[in-house]
């Protein structure tokens, strides 16, 4: 119910704008599962790649989606974003993506996604990687217990759940 | 219904953190009316003044509320914010407040609110003032048709409605 | 001497990108006088209006100029900017302009300049207006002693000097 | 001479606030060499770690130093910063560090430094790493020719010089 939105965790889903089909499918499944859990899905809002696919998955299961756009025009979000917010701050909005999420899940992506993982770790946000290639190396930048590597959306969801239980509440 | 959130306009309600009782009441009534119209209410999210009062009004009528916080911790939003987003960008988040709103309503406030009105005008956002004291003078900074001065919440709502009809669609 | 740059106050000069000839001349004279005092001139860096004219004045007297650009490419600054910094944050850079100045001087301008004055007042920065039209009204948004209205560049310089003496040191 | 500041490249030096002695020494030597080349040194401005050490090196050789602070108060920069700019944008200022540099040199650091490297690569800025541990892995996030790994300050300077010659001019 709408009256309970504020008690729903926000799960940030990061990942590339230009990615392979498999990554799109992973993001789509992840979006579905996030909605099934009753969590809000937040991402960068653009009409491309992981941003579009994960939002589509969440909306197909009736979830709520939030997009933080780099542009000035909030109506440029992909059609699966419910709450589209415009920053006109380019990559500086990556910080907002991360701080506004209770847990960050990073799918495959490139330097933009890497910057989001780094900003999450810098700000002690729990991170789950799901197909992000350099994941093993990123361990050295984390505090114990705030970084997990998942190999399937199901596993990512389990890790998120664990974070929500252990770290946040 | 949740599936239609994305078609709901976002109305930004700006105003001071420290204001008189009458302004709080105005913001509260305005929040109620925004929710009654089926619009999303967006504000600065803090647990004070117009931000708290307008969100409370909206929630009492079952509306959806979004708060863009200046802080790093999204859990510092007031209890009437559904979607609390954290920026850690201090007053730079004022730009996001404005760009993320389809129409900006400015209640009584001080320099922070003035900066939001100015940023709205700079970015060609339609503005309604409702009790903001320097309103007459701000006319000179606007393009024709993007600035209206309301004296009651009811009138502000009418102006917002007119903007949504004329300017945006 | 370069070794003493860090002890030079930074004076922010705000004002419109599209202004009349008289305002350009005022900004140019102001820039000269700021350099003559041994102060650093900071502005928005763009190749237009008050930003270009004030920087030109300062450079003709051998001053140092800093420009905080809204764009991503620092090489788009006007040719009179020594240190051109790029933000890609659009109007969010207005906050940086203000926070990075010890005193803000606001020439004639429109909504962007108004937002900078408002952000300065919000952050307790001393402000001098010099031809900014709505100046009288802005008094109500200030704390005592942090807002002065000048009618000539000479007077603006006197007010800046007074601020540097009274408020900052 | 001051009149030629605007033709001096800006070299960004990133790196941790809390680092070992060897990294401090490397940053200090790097700062000296940047100044010797007549380049401007830009960093995050804080009074700690690589930010302080690299600025100290540059100032001891008479170079110019710029610091982009995360805080609101520009007077909190380390004493070796000539031009201290305040953002009050926390880690969002990392984007400005990178966009304002012609070349980015990354010394040893943690997640904050990693975010700066990532933002540099995302924005096609040439990067040299100098002791940054995960450097090898970062190759996969770059475009050809925009990422080099140096093992000494001398080598880093050579790479910067090559970038300035090949990429920028």
In the block, residue with structure tokens 């609390």: B84
Least confident of B26-40, B121-135, C93-107, D77-91: B121-135
* Confidence band, pLDDT 50/70/90 cuts, at residue C169: low
What are the structural domain ranges in chain C? 7-163
- The dihedrals phi and psi of D106, each to the nearest 5 degrees, come to -110, 110
- pLDDT of A3 over the 70 cut: no
Contact assessment for residue B81 and residue A6, using Cβ atoms and an 8 Å cutoff = yes
Interchain pair C99, D66: CB under 8 A: no
Structural tokens at position C153: 């560049």
Q: Which residue of C has its CA nearest to A87?
A: C89
Q: Which of residues 113-132 of C touch D (CB under 8 A)?
A: 123
Please give the angle made by the CA atoms of C155, C160 and C166, to the nearest 5 degrees.
Answer: 125
Query: Beta-carbon neighbour count of residue C136 at 10 Å?
Result: 12
Residues of chain B with pLDDT > 70, as a percent, come to 97
Say what the pLDDT of residue C3 is.
45
* Topology of the domain comprising C7-163: Rossmann fold (3.40.50)
* Confidence band, pLDDT 50/70/90 cuts, at residue A141: confident
**Alpha carbons B45 and B106: distance in angstroms, whole number:** 15
- For residue A18, the SS3 value is coil
Say what the pLDDT of residue B169 is.
56
* Confidence band, pLDDT 50/70/90 cuts, at residue C1: very low
Interchain pair A79, B10: CB under 8 A: no
Contact assessment for residue C142 and residue C127, using Cβ atoms and an 8 Å cutoff = yes
Chain A CB contacts of B87 below 8 Å:
95-96, 99-100
Select from D1, D4, D5 the residue whose CB has the most chain C CBs within 10 Å, as the one to mutate to test that interface.
D5
Who among C6, C82, C87 is closest to D81 (CB)? C6
B contact chains, 3+ CB pairs < 8 A: A, C, D
Say what the pLDDT of residue B3 is.
44
Please give the angle made by the CA atoms of B31, B37 and B43, to the nearest 5 degrees.
Answer: 35
Least confident of A160-169, C104-113, D100-109: A160-169
Q: For residue B160, what are the contacts with CB-CB under 8 A and spacing of at least 6?
A: B11, B34, B37, B39, B103, B105, B128
Who among B95, B111, B140 is closest to C118 (CB)? B111
Contact assessment for residue C53 and residue C30, using Cβ atoms and an 8 Å cutoff = no
- pLDDT of B150 over the 90 cut: yes
**Alpha carbons A163 and A148: distance in angstroms, whole number:** 10
Structural tokens at position B40: 């999303």
Q: Which residue of D has its CA nearest to B87?
A: D89
Structural tokens at position C162: 């007074």
- pLDDT of C143 over the 90 cut: no
Say what the pLDDT of residue A169 is.
56
Q: Which of residues 28-87 of B touch C (CB under 8 A)?
A: none
Say what the pLDDT of residue D167 is.
72
- Mean pLDDT rounded to a whole number for chain B: 94
CA atoms in the 13 A half-sphere facing the CB of B47: 8
Order of strands, sheet of B103-107, starting from the edge strand that comes earlier in the sequence = B83-86, B65-69, B40-43, B10-14, B103-107, B127-130, B147-150
Who among D95, D138, D142 is closest to A92 (CB)? D95
Structural tokens at position B169: 């669609």
* Confidence band, pLDDT 50/70/90 cuts, at residue B124: very high
The ranges of chain D with pLDDT < 50 are 1-3
Closest CA to C114 of D81, B113, A159: B113
Interchain pair A115, D118: CB under 8 A: yes
Tens of pLDDT, residue by residue over A99-116, are: 999 999 999 999 999 999
Chain A CB contacts of D133 below 8 Å:
140
Environment class of C164 (CB within 10 Å of its CB; exposed 0-12, middle 13-18, buried 19+): middle
Interchain pair C134, B115: CB under 8 A: no
Tens of pLDDT, residue by residue over C45-54, are: 999 999 999 9
**Alpha carbons A44 and A120: distance in angstroms, whole number:** 14
Tell me the angle at which helices A111-122 and D111-122 cross, rounded to the nearest 10 degrees: 160
Say what the pLDDT of residue C105 is.
98
Print burial letters for A75-97: b (CB count within 10 Å at least 16), e (below 16): ebbbebbbbbbbbbbbbbbbbbb
Average pLDDT over residues A68-94: 98
Which residues pair with residue A66 across a beta bridge? A42, A83
**What class is the A7-164 domain?**
alpha beta
Structural tokens at position B29: 């009534």
- For residue D145, the SS3 value is coil
The helix or strand, by DSSP H or E, that contains position B154, with its residue range, turns out to be helix B153-166
Q: What is the pTM of this model?
A: 0.96
Average pLDDT over residues B145-150: 94
Closest CA to A100 of A167, A168, A11, A35: A11
Give all strands (DSSP E) within chain C, no chain letters.
10-14, 40-43, 65-69, 83-86, 103-107, 127-130, 147-150
Structural tokens at position A163: 């974070």
- The dihedrals phi and psi of A134, each to the nearest 5 degrees, come to -90, 20
**What DSSP letter does each residue of A86-136 carry, written as one string?**
E---GGGHHHHHHHT-SEEEEES--HHHHHHHHHHHHTT--EEEEB-TTHH
- DSSP H helices, B49-152, are 49-60, 93-99, 111-122, 135-138
* Confidence band, pLDDT 50/70/90 cuts, at residue B1: very low
**How many Cβ pairs closer than 8 A exist between chain B and D?**
18
Tens of pLDDT, residue by residue over C5-61, are: 888 999 999 999 999 999 999 999 999 999 999 999 999 999 999 999 999 999 999
Say what the pLDDT of residue D3 is.
45
**Alpha carbons D162 and B41: distance in angstroms, whole number:** 53
Who among C88, C89, C99 is closest to D72 (CB)? C99
Average pLDDT over residues A57-63: 98
Tens of pLDDT, residue by residue over D95-113, are: 999 999 999 999 999 999 9
Closest CA to A150 of A48, A60, A27: A27
* Confidence band, pLDDT 50/70/90 cuts, at residue B144: confident
Contact assessment for residue C140 and residue B133, using Cβ atoms and an 8 Å cutoff = yes
Torsion of CA A12, A18, A23, A29, to 10 degrees: 50
Chain D CB contacts of A121 below 8 Å:
111, 114
**Alpha carbons D42 and D68: distance in angstroms, whole number:** 8
Q: Which residue of D has its CA nearest to C72?
A: D99
Say what the pLDDT of residue D6 is.
87
- A103-107 and A40-43 strand pairing: unpaired
In the block, residue with structure tokens 């602070």: D69
Tens of pLDDT, residue by residue over B61-120, are: 999 999 999 999 999 999 999 999 999 999 999 999 999 999 999 999 999 999 999 999
- Mean pLDDT rounded to a whole number for chain A: 94
Q: What is the CATH number of domain D9-164?
A: 3.40.50.450
Order of strands, sheet of C65-69, starting from the edge strand that comes earlier in the sequence = C83-86, C65-69, C40-43, C10-14, C103-107, C127-130, C147-150
* Confidence band, pLDDT 50/70/90 cuts, at residue B30: very high
Chain A CB contacts of C90 below 8 Å:
72, 88-89
Residues B146, B147, B151, B152, CA torsion sign: positive
Domain B2-166 has CATH 3.40.50.450: yes
CA distance D11 to chain C (A): 12
Please give the angle made by the CA atoms of D3, C45 and A89, to the nearest 5 degrees.
Answer: 140
Say what the pLDDT of residue B163 is.
96
């Amino acid at each position: 119910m709408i009256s309970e939105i504020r008690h729903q965790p926000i799960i940030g889903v990061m990942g590339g704008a230009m990615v392979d089909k498999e990554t799109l499918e992973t993001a789509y499944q992840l979006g579905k599962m996030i909605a099934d859990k009753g969590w809000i899905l937040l991402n960068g809002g653009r009409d491309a790649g992981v941003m579009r696919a994960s939002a589509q998955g969440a909306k197909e299961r009736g979830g709520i989606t939030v997009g933080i756009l780099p542009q000035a025009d909030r109506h440029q979000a992909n059609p699966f974003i419910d709450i589209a917010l415009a920053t006109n701050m380019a990559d500086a909005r990556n910080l907002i993506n991360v701080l506004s999420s209770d847990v960050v899940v990073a799918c495959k992506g490139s330097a933009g996604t890497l910057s989001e993982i780094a900003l999450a770790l810098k700000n002690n946000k729990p991170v789950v990687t799901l197909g992000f290639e350099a994941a093993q190396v990123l361990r050295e930048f984390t505090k114990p217990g705030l970084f997990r590597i998942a190999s399937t959306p199901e596993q990512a969801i389990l890790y998120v759940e664990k974070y929500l239980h252990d770290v946040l509440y």
